[in-house]
Structure formats: structure tokens, C-alpha cells
Amino acid sequence: METDSIRSQFPILDQKVYGKPLVYFDNAATTQKPQSVIDTLCRYYQTLNSNIHRGAHYLAGEATEEYEQTRRAVQQFINARHSHEIVFTRGTTESINLVAASFGQRFLNEGDEVVVSAMEHHSNIVPWQLACERQGARLQVIPFDDEGVLDLEALRGLLNEKTRIVAVNHVSNTLGTVNPIRQIVDIAHSHGIPVLVDGAQAISHFAVDVQELGCDFYCFSGHKMYGPMGVGVMYGREELLEQMPPYQGGGEMIKDVTFERTTYNELPFKFEAGTPAVGDVLGLHSAIRFMQQTGVDNIARHEKELTDYATERLLQIEDLRIYGRAKEKTSVISFLVGNAHPYDVGTLLDKLGIAVRTGHHCTQPIMDRYGIPGTVRASFAVYNTREEVDTLISAIERIAPMLA
Ligand code: PMP
């Protein structure tokens, strides 16, 4: 894989900040967009903009066709059985809120339990807390060890006849751990319990096959996989989606409305109330094309090499500690140097042109588990290079003594 030809597709990378070449290592927060995605957004508003599914005119027909083509592209990308199992949302957060609210309303009752893990993003904790509060259910938590590996024995111990769903991330946005979803699904399904997977940090890094994983729900965001902000996906198994009530009411999700009674549209439209972000959905299609043309396996290989290299070099720095040392790991490295506050490290790196994230990364329970206020997080994408890692290492070596 030729990194130069990939980088040249991302215009934002070719710039200086504070007079220094930009090194973008905040990809877990959002990835940059290739020109093809930007062009799709422009083309949509220049030539195609129209509200979908309703208008009896040319533009509405074309926009609807491309919107539905994207649904089929997503279906193929994650190998879902049916295209109507793909629901467009605003992002992972909305996807999980949709499931927590709708599944919760249908299946959660007083005294029931929902299992999440201790390494979840707040987006896969709070919606379940809200659902539990509404239904009188309780949250149970799978712990993880010092290396950042989930305790599957503890998961086995937590499941019982009151457990209604297990919700875990595929990849931790703070630790980088790739969780053994197939195994978790097997454990949960042996008790007849469905599994929701937060795939926000997995989808851009390796191939995802929802049938092979066996999960019941899979949620992700377009903006973390080279696509636009404002669009995400909730994949759900047909049998469950059919039984779940609508999440929001409004246009498009209905069959018939009278003041006495409303009947709902079929899948997936039952879950897509109102005007969707059509341009962003088409942009997501371009992002999928970008990933397929680059090769998902090539992306995975490149990022693994970069992560291994960065890990090795970072660990050579005196008193640098990495949080998240699981064997199965993607391109996220959380660390602390000496007793420097992560915010100070991040601010100084920024002045050197290096964009990292600092803080709790919306995973406060992980910080509590380690007894730290936060970390510095460098996260890589397909366009990052070894030279950029070298720049990061030199920068840390330069600033660490200043912060000691
Ligand atoms: N889950 C995980 C693991 C994430 O990393 C993120 C984004 N940081 C989210 C959920 C939420 O994604 P979004 O903000 O795109 O809804």
C-alpha cells in the first residue's frame, strides 16, 4: 500500500498548524475525509438535493435511489442478511439510544438486568441507565483486568434469567482492546440473551461481518470511517426489529395516521422518522467505496504495523506508561508520562503541530478503574506514517523534561 497516494486523497492533511506540518493523531475522535467524500457532498447539493421517498419528480427519485443504494452498500459492507436491517441514524450515539429506548420499552421490565462492560464509552452506558430508570431495571457491569481485557468468567457469572441484553463495544476507544464478540455472543445466546455491539471504533479498522459475529445489533458512525458527520448506522436483526416499537414518531415512519390510531411503516422506515441527512448518507457510500478501494485488509495491516512501531518506541521513553496492553488491539494508544498532567502534554504537543486527545475520552469508569484523571491518546488511521510517529516520539522526549 502506497501511503503517499492515500494521503494525497485527504486535502486537510496537507497543511501547517503553528508553522509545523500537521500530524493528525485524533482519528478515534473522527477521521479525516477523502476528496471523494467531499465531492459527493458537493455533488449532492449541486445537482441532487431533494427530499426522498415522497416527491413524484426526477430529483426526488434520483436522491431516493442513491439513498437506498447506500443502504444496500452498508448491508454488503457488514454482511447483513437484509437491507431493511440497516437503519440510518445520526451516529453511534443515536443508534444505541434508539435500541435502548425501543428494545427497553418492549423487553425491559421491573427487576430485569442489562449487562454492559466497564470499558464502555458513555454512549453505551447512559442510554441503558435511562432505559433502566424508565423500566425499573438494573445495570450490571463486566470488569476488565489491568491489561484491559474483559473478564468473560465474570460475564458468565452475571447472566441469569433476569438478563435481557448484553451491550459491549467491539473496540475500546480508550484502551484499543478488540473484544472477543463471537465468544461474548455465544455466552449470551446460550442463555437466549441478545447482544448489542458498539462498533464505533471497529468499523474503520478491520472487516466486520455481523452474521459471523452473530450479534443482534451493531452500531457505528460514518464520521469515524472517513465519512461525513451526521450519519450513522443501526443494524438490527429483523426478528427483533419487527417486535420493537418506533423510536421517534413523525413523517415517513407511518402507514396510516388518524387521531384515533396510527399504524407504522415497515422496516427500516419504521425507525427513520423525518427527513434524514441524505447528502451525508450518500457521503457514507463514498467512504465505504474509499475503504473498499484501499482494501480493508490493507488498512488493518498498515495500522497494525504503525501501532506496533509506536508502542515499541513509546515504551522506550522513560517513565511512559501505556494503558491498554491487550494482545488483540487496534490503533489506539493511551499513555501518561511521569507525573505530567495529560492536558499539559496534549497542549504542548498541539503547539508542535501534533493533534492528540487528552482527558477521559468519555470513558470515566476506565479512568476510575486505573485511578487516573485521564490519558493522552494517539490514534492512527490509514493515512498516518512512521515519520509522523517519529515526530510524536521526538516531541514527547522534548516536552517530558519540561513537565517533570
Ligand atoms: N462508542 C465509542 C466506542 C466511541 O468511540 C464513540 C465516539 N467517541 C461513540 C460511541 C459515540 O460516537 P458518536 O459521537 O459518533 O455518536
pLDDT in tens, 186-201: 999 999 999 999 999 9
Using pLDDT thresholds of 50, 70 and 90, give the confidence band for residue 2.
confident
Question: For residue 198, which atom of ligand 1 is closest to its CA?
Answer: 1
198 CA to centre of ligand 1 in angstroms: 8
Mean pLDDT of the chain: 97
Using pLDDT thresholds of 50, 70 and 90, give the confidence band for residue 174.
very high
369 CA to centre of ligand 1 in angstroms: 20
Continuous H helices in 272-341: 278-294, 296-315
Kindly tell me the burial class for residue 298, based on how many C-beta atoms sit within 10 Å of its own C-beta (0-12, 13-18, 19 or more).
middle
**Cell 452506558 found at:** 125
pLDDT of residue 252: 87
Per-residue pLDDT of 255-274, as tens digits, reads: 999 999 999 999 999 999 99
Q: Which of 90, 121, 357 to mutate to test the pocket of ligand 1 (most atoms within 8 A of CB)?
A: 121
162 CA to centre of ligand 1 in angstroms: 28
Answer yes or no: is pLDDT of 160 > 90.
yes
93 CA to centre of ligand 1 in angstroms: 6
404 CA to centre of ligand 1 in angstroms: 33
pLDDT of residue 20: 98
Residue 40 has φ and ψ, to the nearest 5°, of -65, -40
Question: For residue 172, which atom of ligand 1 is closest to its CA?
Answer: 3
pLDDT of residue 54: 77
pLDDT of residue 387: 98
Mean pLDDT of all residues in 29-44: 98
Residues lining ligand 1, CB < 6 A?
28, 91-93, 121, 123-124, 169, 173, 198, 200-201, 221, 362
Per-residue pLDDT of 103-120, as tens digits, reads: 999 999 999 999 999 999
Mean pLDDT of all residues in 210-220: 98
Per-residue pLDDT of 64-76, as tens digits, reads: 999 999 999 999 9
Q: Which of 88, 123, 205, 226 to mutate to test the pocket of ligand 1 (most atoms within 8 A of CB)?
A: 123
Q: What residues does 167 pair with on adjacent strands?
A: 116, 196
The enclosing H or E element of 359 equals strand 357-359
Burial code (b: 16+ CB inside 10 Å, e: under 16) for 96-111 equals bbbbbbbbbeebbeee
Q: Distance (Å, rounded) from C-alpha 133 to C-alpha 137?
A: 6
3-state percent breakdown (helix, strand, coil) of the chain, nearest 5 = 45, 20, 35
For the ranges 42-56, 81-95, 164-178, 200-214, the lowest mean pLDDT is seen at: 42-56
pLDDT of residue 404: 84
Mean pLDDT of all residues in 170-189: 98
Residues designated catalytic: 362
Instruction: Indicate the SS3 state at residue 248.
Output: coil
Mean pLDDT of all residues in 323-352: 97
CB 89 within 8 A of CB 98: yes
Residue with CA closest to ligand 1 atom 14: 93
The sign one gets for the Cα dihedral 86, 89, 91, 96 is: negative
